Amino acid sequence: MWIRNRNRRNRLTGLLLGLPILSVPLLGIGCQREDTERIGRLGRKLTAHVTAVAPSMPPGLAAAWDTLATPAMSPVERHVRDRLINDQGLGNCVLEISQVAPGVIKLSGTVEQPGQKVRAAELTKLTIGVQEVIDELTVAR
């Protein structure tokens, strides 16, 4: 059993190491203008499809997709987002984070319970680089 798994690992490692080496000659071939347009269209279609299916994704995968799909964030916004995403008590909340000024973070969106609103504001305030929190969260119900 162990030898069989080791052989699989060796094949996988070889494949992972071989792919970049095999792709080098392909990079030298070059792309035509139509190719870049096709790749762009494919990317847009894929993004639209994944966004359409996002509500049915598991929470962790949906959070990861949101992370990739969001526009560029400041480091402070990223730290706040990561803290709020990783907090188990805020799992089903829909939160929007924006930096309105240096050190000032605005929280908006909907939480299910008043305790979640307090928790989100506390976590945000305790994040390095945040001096002030503008809490515009609403409690559903």
pLDDT digits (tens, 9 = 90+) for 58-90: 666 666 666 665 567 788 998 998 898 888 888
Return the pLDDT at 1: 36
pTM attached to this predicted model: 0.51
Task: Give the pair of three-digit tokens for residue 97.
Answer: 């984070």
Q: Is 42 found in the same domain as 77?
A: no
Q: Are both 22 and 80 inside the same structural domain?
A: no
Domain at 127, CATH number: 3.30.1340.30
User: Is position 67 within any domain?
Assistant: no
pLDDT at 31: 63
Q: Which domain holds residue 101?
A: 72-139
Please name every residue paired with 133 in a beta bridge, in sequence order, or none if there are none: 105
Which residues does 65 contact at the CB level (< 8 Å), separation at least 6?
50, 51, 54, 57
All residue ranges of the chain with pLDDT < 50 are: 1-9, 15
**Total number of residues shown for the chain:** 141
Residues 44 and 90 in one domain: no
> Do 41 and 16 belong to one domain?
yes
- Do 82 and 127 belong together in one domain? yes
Q: Residue 2 has what pLDDT?
A: 40
pLDDT at 27: 53
